[in-house]
Amino acid sequence: MGAVSELEGDLDQVNTDAAIEVRDLRMAYGPKRVLQGVDFTVGAGEVIALLGPNGAGKTTTIEILEGFRAPSGGHVRVLGTEPIRGDERWRARLGVVLQSWRDHGRWRVHQLLHHLSRYYEPYANPARRPFDIAELIDAVGLTEQAGQRINRLSGGQRRRLDVAIGIVGRPEVLFLDEPTAGFDPQARRDFHDLVHRLSDLDDTTILLTTHDLDEAEKLADRILILSGGRIVADGSPDQLSRQISRDAQVRWSRGGEHFVHATEDATGFVRGLFEQYGTEIGDLEVRRATLEDTYMAILKREEA
């Protein structure tokens, strides 16, 4: 399927350093067109957050990249291979974090991780050794639960085990579909530290989907917004906010009265305020558009 409808012509110009390349990716379920020409590239070692409303096709996109689903058309490469044709050697270089439920309930945490890690032994790469299990269990904060049966773990502990399973083979590319759904704030923070470690120390390329914009901003080098089956925004959180509005809102009070002013040059404006009124100024607040403002504005623009 994919080979027939692949884009012709410019294949030789494709950047070979990219970990993930997607060109004109299309996916239809019967008459329902979920993806209508998705384009993006992820460089090796980049951390990308894929955002979008429910039903925008985030999970479909990730499943196509994981090789779990055949696309209707387009050019897709992960580590230089078309995912649906990826062999076991290719599979060994990927990590997939699944939303598990109750599988392997009777296994013990270290037992399952050790067993699953052994699948990577024939593909061992001296530069990227599989994780030491004790070290991995510690990295996801499950040391106290290492000997426990998996069906005795709490929801958050299970999700951390899912992450550990996803990275046990020390993948070059890691896919995370809503990894922190159901995490408490502490578990979320620990997870963020882990993602930073994977990205900084191991140079892992990471693609994650999330509904948590704060999380996306903290973790991602670059944000992709998927809406209506297309990528409607692609850039760093800062670049995206500047696309929508360069203005910052300045709020202050003077003589019991409250004021708001939108300006591109917040620093200059505030300097002017102080020069004019000095100590009369109170309650000063300068606020740039947050990622949430930007996200909502981009979606609104797309719907219009």
Partner 1 sequence: MNAALHAVKLGLARGWIEFKNSLTNPQDVSFTIISTAAFVVVIYFQRDATVPGTTFTLAGVTLPSMLGMLAAFNGLIGAMSMITVEREDGTLLRAKALPQGMLGYMVGRIALLTLQALGSMVILLAAGLLLLPDLAQAGLGGLLLVLAITLIGLVATLPLGAVVGSLFNNPQAVTGLSMLVVGGLVAISGIFYPISAVAGWLQAIAQAFPVYWLGLGMRAALLPDSMAAAEIGGSWRPIETILVLSAWVVAGLLLAPPILRRMARRESGSLMEARRERAMQRVG
Binding site for partner 1 (CB under 8 A): 59-60, 62-63, 66, 68-69, 88-89, 91-92, 94, 96, 98-104, 106-107, 111, 115-116, 118-123, 165-166, 169, 177
70 or 281, CB closer to partner 1? 70
147 or 272, CB closer to partner 1? 147
Q: How many residues does the chain have?
A: 304
Helix (H) or strand (E) holding 168: none
Nearest distance from residue 96's CB to partner 1, in Å?
Answer: 4
154 or 236, CB closer to partner 1? 154
Nearest distance from residue 82's CB to partner 1, in Å?
Answer: 15
Smallest CA-to-CA distance from 59 within 177, 229, 207 is with 177
Nearest distance from residue 98's CB to partner 1, in Å?
Answer: 6
Cα angle 98, 132, 160 (rounded to 5 degrees) comes to 30
Which stretches of 150-280 are assigned E, i.e. beta strand? 173-177, 205-209, 222-227, 230-235, 248-254, 257-263
d(CA 66, CA 78): 8
Helix (H) or strand (E) holding 29: strand 18-29
Nearest distance from residue 26's CB to partner 1, in Å?
Answer: 18
Nearest distance from residue 235's CB to partner 1, in Å?
Answer: 27
72 or 249, CB closer to partner 1? 72
193 φ/ψ angles, rounded to the nearest 5 degrees: -60, -40
Smallest CA-to-CA distance from 40 within 179, 207, 175, 241 is with 207
Type of residue numbered 270: V
Type of residue numbered 11: L
Cα angle 8, 5, 44 (rounded to 5 degrees) comes to 70
118 or 251, CB closer to partner 1? 118
177 or 217, CB closer to partner 1? 177
14 or 84, CB closer to partner 1? 84
d(CA 121, CA 253): 65
73 or 166, CB closer to partner 1? 166
Nearest distance from residue 59's CB to partner 1, in Å?
Answer: 5
Smallest CA-to-CA distance from 37 within 57, 62, 11 is with 57
d(CA 96, CA 83): 13
Nearest distance from residue 118's CB to partner 1, in Å?
Answer: 6
Nearest distance from residue 172's CB to partner 1, in Å?
Answer: 13
Smallest CA-to-CA distance from 145 within 278, 39, 154 is with 154
- What tokens appear for 286 in the block? 């300068």
